[in-house]
Structure 1
């Protein structure tokens, strides 16, 4: 009898395990139809790994804030192995701030159509020793056009330029930025803008200028005509060995005017916002502001950033500072408080754009094209792998050489019939599987019970 009983309980265990495995396998077989949003992908370059930067509009289609519901399928509807990267793999590098040498660039006062011609003396390792005008300038004819910065000692991408200058030149400073490795060939790195203003007994200063995150041995700063450059008192360059992914910006977001000088905006969901850009529609706008945020209306407002926003006309051109930098914490509501002594921003709330750090997806292409990115399922579990698992010999350098995938024409489609396993309606397949499992267990338990009650056979 003991052997029969043991066999009965083993049967119960085996049947339970079989039905449990069958249940898990059934629900592990996801298909594109289980997701609300489909995004066609186009691939280029050498595979089998491809990386794609997810636009913010695509990310907002997810039903889970950590993008656990993102998947990639091939033409046959088979899931692809993938990894998510919200920052470069070695983003634990702290920025390094380096003091650099600066050399004046002089030219004649009327020579504003070209860069100053200079004679340069450098050491064997490229460090600048002396920079002089190529021709002698008479006293009173020379003008300080800009500065040459020596970044030859920095062996990492340059992320930010920080300058200070003498107090004789308050107001705005605008200049072009060029980079070179040989002092002969120069590449434009855009423009820089500095400011030192006094407003309502407060001093507002802007010393930092963003750089494109590339390496260069030398930087040339040329001030816009007809102004001459200020006298620098310090020059620093911030560098990082591993750059974070770029920011991705939202579309313009309408807001509400709560009261005079106070505006609010509702974000699509909780997001780690790093920058906010405020529309300044009227010329000659000047607004000291405080930007606050919170996760939802039940929580108190927390100050996130403050600064001076302006759009001023100078020398026939608009000088604009309309961005605020945030700490990157998760928020869903924004509030801007304006000091109206500067004239305010009007009765209607300005539109804003917000920026979050880009998210990159890397997938291992298996099967035939086309590949489709899908999102929009509130119940599925995360299926992404670590990058080091997806790519066995992974390194940041290898990541940059992978093939590229892109959202095909920015198209985002939603299937006409969605079969999302969301918490809407009754999930009959799931209930059926559990019913079969329970009935089987009860049947075998009844058999075991009957064996226990049966009297032992007479010898």
Structure 2
């Protein structure tokens, strides 16, 4: 056999060894967690709001190891729509005018109004309806003019006079004409002096809808504070509500310190800390890091409490984190406030939801799968998946619902070692070694040149 033929044979042998690596396509068996999907509505495109349990079951925070399979085991085309604001949109803090609402001290009804508007509809003056001259007027609440804000309203940010401390609760109502009012829930602000520091809770969530006017009516009028500044945070794009994890137990507990380990780094928006005991008051600081070897970074601080007020219980158990991607969280509690009690608190984390949009092809049942250590990103842009796609079309797509129970695939990779990939690489290295040996044998068998 000539040297050229021998080398050609060695190359063909190497290609034969590489064939399993080149054609080893991924299938359902490569994914540790699989969940059946139920479809409703008009297809062939369907959208699924990814449950937090499945997000935490993924091996990668960016969901590169997510796939959708049909009943024939074929992977389907899909796109990921991240929750929160659409691209190019954002939050805006708007300073607004506010006007006091007054009524006779013994009156049981709501304050009446006489208003003056400018040509654009902006309020210029708000006067209480006058009663008998000898009736003493008291502050009942505040009217906010949000008529200049065209975007949905998402948050109130209030500041009030420094000499008013404690907790204040109020109802929130919205109107477009100052005649018809609709309830928008309740708000609560707080200011406490603690260990030579002042702790404020100034933000109140709104439902993310438009309104020209807001009315804040204090539950206990004598506690209505004198406002110094009012801002309303609006968003020019739609903001999806948060999706929350199940309660997580801490991995480390020390006096005044709790640590939680998440399965993967997530862009956390909020934390919800369990306050198991009544009459709890706890100033806290939150730190995070993406890996155990990195230094802890401060993420925020706040005041957690569960206290009685006016015959009712007031509760504040959440902290904002603004999308910081972390895998470990540390909560430090200033125990001079009494701490969190003897019970070990659980934690829930909230993130903006992710929607999976896929093109249903082939026969059901359709299955969502995550948990492939060797997973590589395969999602498409929405405009590639759905020709002529517009943002408004997302809500009209068919809906997929994930089963409650999470199935673990038999034989799927559970540990961090991908034995299949390592086996294929072993075959490749063996083939390279065989080629080297054949080349050395060829060189030794050639006669020396004259």
Q: Is TM-score (shorter-chain normalized) higher than 0.5? A: yes
Instruction: Rate the CA distance shift 1:151–1:45 in 2: closer, same or farther, 3 A.
Output: farther
Structure 2 matches for 1:59-458, cutoff 5 A?
Answer: 59-88=55-84, 90-112=86-108, 115-123=110-118, 125-133=120-128, 136=131, 138-225=133-220, 227=222, 229-255=224-250, 258-408=253-403, 410-418=404-412, 423=417, 425=419, 430=424
Instruction: Rate the CA distance shift 1:423–1:298 in 2: closer, same or farther, 3 A.
Output: closer
Instruction: Rate the CA distance shift 1:423–1:259 in 2: closer, same or farther, 3 A.
Output: closer
Instruction: Rate the CA distance shift 1:190–1:440 in 2: closer, same or farther, 3 A.
Output: same
Deviation at 1:173, TM superposition (A): 1.4
User: 1:309 touches 1:323 (CA, 8 Å); kept in 2?
Assistant: yes
Deviation at 1:315, TM superposition (A): 0.7
Deviation at 1:257, TM superposition (A): 6.5
Deviation at 1:57, TM superposition (A): 0.8
Provide the residue aligned with 1:456 in structure 2.
Answer: none
Instruction: Give the Cα separation in 2 of the matches to 1:159 and 1:61.
Output: 31
Deviation at 1:170, TM superposition (A): 2.1
Instruction: Give the Cα separation in 2 of the matches to 1:12 and 1:219.
Output: 80
Deviation at 1:292, TM superposition (A): 2.0
Task: Report the secondary structure of 2:407's partner residue.
Answer: coil
Instruction: Rate the CA distance shift 1:320–1:16 in 2: closer, same or farther, 3 A.
Output: same
Deviation at 1:303, TM superposition (A): 2.3
Provide the residue aligned with 2:24 in structure 1.
Answer: 27
Instruction: Rate the CA distance shift 1:79–1:164 in 2: closer, same or farther, 3 A.
Output: same
Instruction: Give the Cα separation in 1 of the matches to 2:47 and 2:160.
Output: 44
Instruction: Give the Cα separation in 2 of the matches to 1:427 and 1:322.
Output: 45
Structure 1 residue runs of 5 or longer lacking an equivalent are 454-459
Instruction: Rate the CA distance shift 1:439–1:424 in 2: closer, same or farther, 3 A.
Output: closer
Task: Report the secondary structure of 1:59's partner residue.
Answer: helix
Provide the residue aligned with 1:457 in structure 2.
Answer: none
Instruction: Give the Cα separation in 1 of the matches to 2:414 and 2:332.
Output: 42
User: 2:168 touches 2:223 (CA, 8 Å); kept in 1?
Assistant: no
Task: Report the secondary structure of 1:397's partner residue.
Answer: helix
Provide the residue aligned with 2:38 in structure 1.
Answer: 42
Task: Report the secondary structure of 1:326's partner residue.
Answer: strand
Instruction: Give the Cα separation in 1 of the matches to 2:410 and 2:173.
Output: 52
Instruction: Give the Cα separation in 2 of the matches to 1:22 and 1:348.
Output: 55
Deviation at 1:309, TM superposition (A): 2.0
Matched residues, number: 447
When structure 1 is superposed on structure 2, of 138-147 and 11-20 the one drifting more is 11-20
Deviation at 1:414, TM superposition (A): 2.0
